[in-house]
Amino acid sequence: MTRPCSQRALLTTSVAVVLALVLAACGSNLNPDEVRAGSGGTVVQNGVAVDGTGTDLGDDSALGDLGTDTGGDTGGTSGGGDTGGSTTSGGGSDTGGSTDTGGGADTGGDDSGGGGSGGDDSGGDDSSGPAGSCDGFKNGPGITDSTITIGNSSDISGPVPGLFETAQDAMKAYVTYYNKANPDGICGRKLVLKTYDSRTDASADQQAYAAGCTDVFAMVGSVSAFDLGGAKTAQDCGLPDLRGGSVTFERNACTTCFGVQAVNTNFFENAVPDFVKQQVGSASAQKAAFFYTNAGAAAQNAKAQVKAMEKRGMKFPVVQGIETSEFNYSTYVQQMKDNDIKVVFFTTSYQFSAKMRQAMAQQGYKPELYLRDPTDYNPDFVQQGGSAVDGTVVYTNFTPFEEAGNNRELATYVGSLNQVNPSADPAFFGVFSWSAGRLFTDLATKLGGKLSRATLLAEVKKVDDWTGNGMHAPQPVGSKGTGECWRFIQLSGGQWKSIGGTKYACNGLSSTK
């Protein structure tokens, strides 16, 4: 089905809240001028180019029981060649490098699936759907007789080190898994992953995509805070860019760029205000507050969301920005008390959210509902906030990790990630980057001998209701719309538990205008 455009990503020029604002507010992108102001120009540390040193994940010593690398040329510890033979740790430059992830077992659970969209989306299987004939297959950019090289450019270094490392880790895990689960690859060609570090910088993102135009067949699963940098470059060279999510207006406008989580500004999901009314009643829904970190486009976004939710019967006596430099939240708690606020929204980082909850607890104020985006679905939020954050409700559009045992695709992601990088935790951005990898291999396998950049893009435009094999709510990727479905979880006794059932609520969209 076709849905209007909207989004799940907000980003601001304050790096302290980049992660939260990318996740947080459905309905906003950054203004290009704000992004440019926040990126601080090109940052090239020690003269390292974007496609520099990385980590080669080729043999069993790195992959454990995820399988055996089937070969390829061996790259060294620097220079980041496309490698398949040995495993070496890179020199730790700012810029990723290339990764040949040869292997990957099915580490998933069963086929029963967790959650759904008007039904159950079971976590799928190891296959990539029906395979097209390989007759007429032609090599091209990033494709040889034995490999198909894809790229991932995400923010690894920069003001917030590791900001979107979870996205790149997920792609390493997916390529490893796919090569093991599908030994014949795509028409006899295994996947090779070349990684880049966009460094939380628009210029670095552009450099990565300039390299990608010639070095890889497609970019897959990328997430960058300042992703406007590579948008025109990708479009001009016809480079397919299946992103974990797009953030800026320019990236969303790029005709070869598609986010598994799409981005636009015009609509907000009705499932959120409908859930509020269901949980606290219509009377309390008239007494809501919307706080936001006062940076970048957050104010505009907050007002847009408020407008959409008021169309569903809510009222917001308090809509208030809070500076990132603010240390005393007691005045905002008193403001809520004075206005008899029953429901609280806060678009911010998990750190500031925990701070707000602690201020509430200190003043003995407990709203009927404290509702947050997936930013708070984070072990660090629970650890920082302690008992004060108990009761927090999060809306999410992917299956919670606690339910991985009932969702095969999610379990496969978690298990494969653990094999490739045991210290990495599964995360929101990882889910959607893995999903981007799954979408790429599904479409490439379907095309078979017809695979080219142009035919891949043509197929992507047809994709609607994509769930990543049941990992997340349906996403209209091809139309760059927004999925209308959410489900809800609540922190209780330090554990996240479903509230309102395990199925997604898909209640349509309201205009933010």
Antiparallel, parallel or unpaired: β 343-347 and 318-322: unpaired
Domain count, the chain: 2
Contacts for 10 with CB less than 8 Å, ≥ 6 apart: 21, 22, 23, 24, 25, 27, 28, 29, 30, 296, 297, 298, 301, 347
What predicted TM-score, i.e. pTM, was given to this entire model?
0.79
Would you say residue 167 lies in a domain?
A: yes
To the nearest whole percent, how much of the chain has pLDDT over 70?
Answer: 74
Task: Please answer whether residues 139 and 187 qualify as being in contact, where contact means their C-beta atoms are separated by less than 8 angstroms.
Answer: no
pLDDT digits (tens, 9 = 90+) for 450-479: 999 999 999 999 999 999 999 999 999 999
The pLDDT of residue 129: 66
473 in a domain, yes or no? no
Do 314 and 226 share a structural domain? no
Looking at the structure, tell me whether residues 149 and 218 fall in a common domain.
Answer: yes
Question: Is residue 9 a part of any domain in this protein?
Answer: no
Same domain, 311 and 415: no
309 and 272 in one domain? yes
Asked whether residue 186 is assigned to any structural domain, the reply reads: yes
Whether 111 maps to a domain, the answer reads: yes
The answer to whether position 89 is within a domain reads no
Residues 239 and 364 in one domain: no
Give residue 432's pLDDT. Answer: 96
User: What is the pLDDT at residue 341?
Assistant: 98
User: What is the average per-residue pLDDT within 113-120?
Assistant: 38
The rounded percent of the chain whose pLDDT value lies above 90 is: 64
Q: pLDDT per residue over 195-253, tens digit each?
A: 999 999 999 999 999 999 999 999 999 999 899 999 999 999 999 999 999 888 889 89
Per-residue pLDDT at 124 exceeds 80? no
pLDDT per position as a tens digit, 316-369: 999 999 998 999 999 999 999 999 999 999 998 899 999 999 999 999 999 999
* Domain encompassing residue 140: 15-73+94-265+406-460
Same domain, 301 and 244: no
Tens digits of per-residue pLDDT, 265-281? 678 899 999 999 999 99
Q: Are residues 150 and 291 in the same domain?
A: no
| Claim to verify: residue 394 and residue 441 sit in the same structural domain | no
Mean pLDDT for the chain overall:
80
pLDDT of residue 116: 36
Residue 302: band (very low, low, confident or very high) from pLDDT cuts 50, 70, 90: confident
Shared domain check, 208 and 116: yes
Q: Per residue in 363-386, pLDDT tens? A: 999 999 999 999 899 899 999 999
pLDDT in tens, 470-511: 999 999 999 998 889 999 999 999 999 999 899 999 999 998
pLDDT digits (tens, 9 = 90+) for 69-84: 323 332 322 233 343 3
Question: Residue 393 maps to which CATH number?
Answer: 3.40.50.2300
- Predicted local distance difference test score (pLDDT) of residue 33: 43
Q: Are residues 221 and 205 in the same domain?
A: yes
Q: Please state, in angstroms and rounded to a whole number, the distance separating the CA atoms of residues 361 and 90.
A: 47
Kindly report, residue by residue over 38-67, the tens digit of the pLDDT: 333 322 222 222 233 333 333 332 333 333
Amino acid, res. 99:
T
pLDDT of residue 138: 96
Regarding whether 220 and 162 lie in a shared domain, the answer is yes
Determine the pLDDT at residue 193. 98
